[in-house]
Amino acid sequence: MSYSWLSVRQDRVRNRVLRKLGMLRYLERCEPIELGDLPLHCELYHSSPTAPTIIFIPGIGTYSQLYCELLARMSDRGFNLIAVDIRGHGCSGGQRGSFRVNEVIADIRQLLDELERRFQGPFGIFGCSLGARLGLAVAEQDDRIETLLCHTLFLAELPPDIYHFFGWNSLYFGNLFTPLLKVNLRLFVDIDRLLRFNPMGKYADRDPLLVWDYPIYTLHSTYSHPSRILRERLPVRSSAIIIGSKDEILSIGYTRDLIRRSVQPFDLIVIEEGSHMLPFDHIEETLQASVNWFHRAFAAGARSSERMRTHEGLSASLDATPLTSVGATVS
């Protein structure tokens, strides 16, 4: 079942909850965008046609509206923020909870085509949890992405521990024999613990836009999708991982090991006392750290582009200049 943006916005009970939580005033600022036949639902927080544009990819089971405060306030700091409900999630079309990583990559590239027609600034990706892994997959395929900020990051080639190793490998056999069998997210993630400080937590069981059940083929695609950052650099100019010091899903030790092994350089941003739910439980620190990093990353990219243009201009000038020997006369 799909949920249209219009039907969700007209839900009076939902609006009362959002107003009570102080979220409605942020949602009223966004521009809904629907792309393709699916359709792919996106929510745009506009700053300026010339400002950098950041594509935000939500975490597993979630959708764009839940992050509206973070997105709106980042937009106030000089960025166009466009959040994506990946297929099968939120207000996007598709079978609930169902996607393959290559389909998400194609969807984001379609979005980039549309954004290029509207905005002149550079593009970046901010991926949250599972969205970070999807964001990395996009950045590996599309050189229009100049900056990549990952809220935690995992790689199929680098399981965090022996339990993840066997769990991820078991999905291979499940995908062979029962690819359509659905698995409830709560079986392997302690959702109640993650949501214990989240104001939306007590409404989670009643939110029809949240996804709890995933087919095995989706989980297999997600946790087996290969990355090449352990052997080569990406086209992106800057990349970083932001993580809470008390993250319940991935440890800082794992993250440091991933960065150490990666050929692609990553900055590491640690939010002290931060949990896995940084965009909700530690929004002020996450907002400030993310904004500061994106400003530096886009500025560094602009300086690099300017140096490249200067170099190309100098090379063209030299190519157009006749070569002469000392003392020779050009007639």
pLDDT of 261 reads 98
The pLDDT-based confidence of 12 (bands split at 50, 70, 90) is confident
139-167 mean pLDDT: 96
Q: Is the pLDDT of residue 176 over 80?
A: yes
pLDDT of residue 190: 78
What's the confidence (pLDDT) of residue 305? 60
Query: Is the N-terminal amide bond of 39 cis, ω within 30° of 0?
Result: yes
Measured over the CA atoms of residue 303, residue 304, residue 308 and residue 311, the dihedral's sign is positive
Task: Calculate the average pLDDT of the chain.
Answer: 89
Residues 89-108 have pLDDT tens digits of 999 999 999 999 999 999 99
Separation in Å, CA 293 to CA 117, 180, 226, 276 = 26, 40, 27, 19
- Give the model's pLDDT for residue 325: 30
Which secondary-structure segment (H or E) carries 222? helix 216-224
Given the structure tokens 């089971």, which residue do they identify? 61
Task: Give the pLDDT confidence score for residue 72 in this predicted structure.
Answer: 97
pLDDT average, residue stretch 99-118: 97
**% residues pLDDT > 70 (the chain):** 89
Token code pair at residue 260 = 């150490």
Q: pLDDT-derived band of residue 16, with 50, 70 and 90 as boundaries? A: confident
Selected residue with higher pLDDT from 22 and 224: 224
What is the CATH superfamily name and number for domain 5-320? Answer: Alpha/Beta hydrolase fold, catalytic domain (3.40.50.1820)
Which position has the token pair 């989240």? 198
Is pLDDT larger for residue 327 or for residue 272?
272
pLDDT of residue 306: 58
Query: Looking at residues 239-266, what average pLDDT do you find?
Result: 97
Q: Which amino acid is at 52?
A: P
Domain range summary for the chain, segments of one domain joined by +: 5-320
Confidence at residue 318, expressed as pLDDT on a 0 to 100 scale: 43
- pLDDT at position 248 is 92
CB neighbours (10 Å) of residue 229?
A: 22
pLDDT value at 207 more than 90: no
Average pLDDT over residues 214-237: 96
- Three-state DSSP class for residue 271: strand
